A and B are shown apart, each in its own frame.
Chain A
Amino acid sequence: MNLPELRDTYDVVVVGAGPAGMSAATAAAAQGASVLLVDEGVGPGGQIYRAVTTTPLTDRAVLGVDYWKGEEVAQAFAASGAAYLSGATVWHLDGERHLGFSVGGEARLVQAGQVVLATGALERPFPIAGWTLPGVLSVGAAQTLLKAQGMTATGRVVIAGCGPLLWLLASQYVAAGKPPALILDTTPAANWRRALSHLPSFLLTPYARKGMKLMARVRRAVRIVSGVTELAIEGETHAERITYRRGNAAPMTVPVDHVLLHQGVTPNLNLPAAAGCELEWNEPQACFQPRTDAWGQTTQPGIWLAGDGAGIAGAEAAASRGTLAGLAAACALGRIDAAARDRLATPVQAQLALQSRGRAFLDRLYRPADAFRRAADTALACRCEEVTGRQLREVADSLKVPGPNQMKTFLRCGMGPCQGRLCGLTVTETIAAARGVGPEEVGYYRLRTPVKPLTVAELATLHSTEDERRAVERG
């Protein structure tokens, strides 16, 4: 869509073009709602289906069957009649459902009848020493580079961390003929005990069979060290070595050209939180998520949340939840009545139940160790403002810091452009450990507009009333 075609209002505005967003837009449009989907990327797919319509990797075996499911979702979306604005960065949403975003350096405001947020997830921070060195990227980053640009990391590539995405990327690298040199698995051994009771239901899911095949393929081609409890990356101006430890064993150091880190994904909180949606702590997944009901309604009326942004459940569940949110939004607008909504939703809810099986096992098995969720002393807890784990702990103790907002005041963590996306959980968990309470009691950063930067000049183009002018210009 071109910017001049943009209208001032839409029945439903969807933010995010991943499986949840595309499905929500498709479902709402099918009920006759006027729908606008805005997304930051250049094409549809979000992160999990990134570049699904443009990837240079036409050999489908490399990225795998699950990735290509995104093609169907994208095709349905393209045919849905929803307006689609790509390259649009959303920086504002409020309780009255005014949405502010920028395209090509131009700020725009749109009024939505209902909003579906599908901004997905991002990787959990992995604050070990050296994680900010050039040459260190997240596993998700490596996967994006593979999908969107057909690139792999060169030289000695070490993958470190835990979680299904780590194995997926490793298997994709193996399938591309570029096996990593080493995998350092930080899955805590103790997690097996907690996860065991959920294993039987996991084994019934298709993920179990696929996952085990995938891991077997990786194990045949890559050396794996498991039970890793300590990690540190070293180097002058680039990652050069990684040191790891397994419990009380002596530390081992290996040279690296690249380190790819991953310890799960967590909901991208900034837009819903800045819009006033309340957050809750998800204990099994060790992260905050906006509070939602079964349809995705947040605590802000008219703002719905679908996909991993509402709680990590994977791509297929995201598509189902997107459809449910789209139907619920259409119903809230009066496009369909509750009975029709429920009728259309029933098969989707059944699918969602199937897609959610096995989640409890994966959440417990791959819950990262406490030590890796809090920054090591010399590691940067806050990458933007360069605040170390040691500084966090010293101030937490000496100034009896109650929570992350006071910590932000004292040390600037969370004040950088990333707005806490890569430090929020670390800071909360570090303060929780210092205070001896749970993260839910400590809380999270107070997030505000703009959730992504826009220029002063762009902000200056927005409308203001005479009262607002007088509140500022008092001379």
Chain B
Amino acid sequence: MAREYDVVVLGGGLMGAAIGYGLARLGRRTAILDEGDIAFRASRGNFSLVWVQSKGLGMPAYSSWTRRSAERWSGFAAELKDETGVDCALQQPGGFTLLLSDAEMERRIAFLAKLHAQPGFEPYPYEIWDRSRVRQVFPGIGPEVVGASFCPLDGHLNALRAFRASHAAFAARGGDYFPHHTIEKVEPLAGGGFRIDTPGSGFTAAKVVLAAGTGNARLGPMLGLHAPVRPQRGQALVTEKASPFLTHPVVNLRQTDEGGIMIGDSQEEAGFDTSLGLGVLAVMARRAARMFPEVGRLNVVRTWSALRVMTKDGFPIYQQSETAPGAFLCNCHSGVTLAAAHAALLAPMIDAGRLDDTLLGAFSTRRFDVPASA
């Protein structure tokens, strides 16, 4: 006896939970199928940033989509709080990339100029600050900090609470969550709709959303979808709780609402290996101490090593299957920043059976079909 739903979301990470909540809020009977307690779960190992600065070199539409989500985040956070009582502690005071040498400063200025100069890029405010201006915001800045790039649209939140709130809101809206339901097979049905098989249970649904992160590579082809995603390792560490002293997030160092200082991050092509590397952690620790010497005294209480869901070009994928309409492939590595857009904009598109071409056309998998040699 298969369980019937309007939509089944494959994957219970932040992306699946946000989309699931968005659909449940529209009144659709929605299920989320998820793995167990030990799984790769990028949702557990991210930096909690809602970040606009730096995104979109090679795809201006990504910057626009990111901005849309950042603009909607405060509404989304308020909604989650109303639904569940859980406060995501969203703060959008603007964010910094700190620069520790003149060479870094020059490269940053050039990069941002190039980013904004792209045809079709929607410009937004950003500033290059010198050291004395940075010191006004961060009095404890280290002597090597020469300046920073600042974007008023950047911010951060407590991603673990956002994750919990998304799941709680999904449940509050009548969504059904099934852990320990790894997908064995998903296939389109002759009369329309889909059948999903997991060990011990079967499901049918009018629509299916593939939000299984790196797992989409296996699931996509079952529905005529190509998901060129790979794991990209990122390590980070967090300190004991400290009194608040950092008012703004830096792209690789932030103080959480709980007080701990989060220090990151690495980009490593290591396959599915989530080992920790002391050498990598040491580099991050050194850089953190150069940015904020006071941080050196704090105790590291936790580290993590998680796998980003990295698409072939680093930009999100949103694609409806052409051979099996109603199946939607969704992948990104900025699941925190984009969660608001996923709940508020993507979910209604999935519900309507059509991804808006203006907003999301650039993210189609057709971009990967361009032959290597022209």
Contact = CB atoms under 8 A, between A and B. Distances in A.
A339 interface: no
A448 B302 contact: yes
A409 B164 contact: yes
Nearest to B172: A398
A262 B41 CA distance: 37
Nearest to B292: A456
A454 interface: yes
B108 A475 contact: yes
A416 B278 contact: no
B277 interface: yes
B196 interface: no
A456 B240 contact: no
Given A398-B171, A405-B37, A472 B280 contact: yes
B168 to A, nearest CB: 6
B34 to A, nearest CB: 8
Interface string A96-116: 001010000000010000000
Contacts of A459: 237, 278, 281-282, 285, 300
Contacts of B277: 468
Interface stretch (B260-268, B319-327, B358-366): B260-268
A399 B280 contact: no
B107 to A, nearest CB: 6
A475 B38 contact: no
Given A400-B179, A448-B276, A471-B280, A455 B296 contact: yes
Interface in A420-475: 442-443, 446, 448-450, 453-457, 459-465, 468-469, 471-475
A170 B224 CA distance: 71
Contacts of A474: 267
Interface residues of B, number: 56
Given A405-B38, A406-B37, A449-B303, A462 B279 contact: yes
A442 B38 CA distance: 10
B168 A399 contact: yes
A124 interface: no
A457 B279 contact: no
B37 A443 contact: yes
Contacts of B104: 475
B15 to A, nearest CB: 15
A464 B303 contact: no
Contact of A409 (B163, B237, B239, B305): B163
Contacts of A464: 279-280, 282-283
Given A409-B160, A453-B299, A471 B268 contact: yes
Contacts of B164: 395, 399, 409-411
B28 interface: no
B171 A475 contact: no
A453 B237 contact: no
Contacts of A401: 37, 179
B298 interface: yes
Contacts of A410: 160, 163-164, 167
B177 interface: yes
Contacts of B258: 412
Interface in B263-309: 263, 265-268, 275-289, 295-305
10 contacts: A409-B43, A409-B163, A412-B160, A412-B258, A450-B303, A453-B299, A461-B282, A463-B279, A463-B282, A471-B280
Interface of B: 36-38, 41, 43-44, 97, 99, 104, 107-108, 160, 163-164, 167-168, 171, 177-180, 237, 239-240, 258, 263, 265-268, 275-289, 295-305
**A-B interface, 5 closest residue pairs, ranked by CB to CB distance from nearest:** A403-B37, A457-B296, A453-B299, A464-B279, A462-B282
Given A457-B289, A459-B285, A471-B280, 9 more contacts: A400-B177, A400-B178, A406-B37, A409-B43, A412-B160, A460-B282, A460-B288, A460-B296, A464-B283
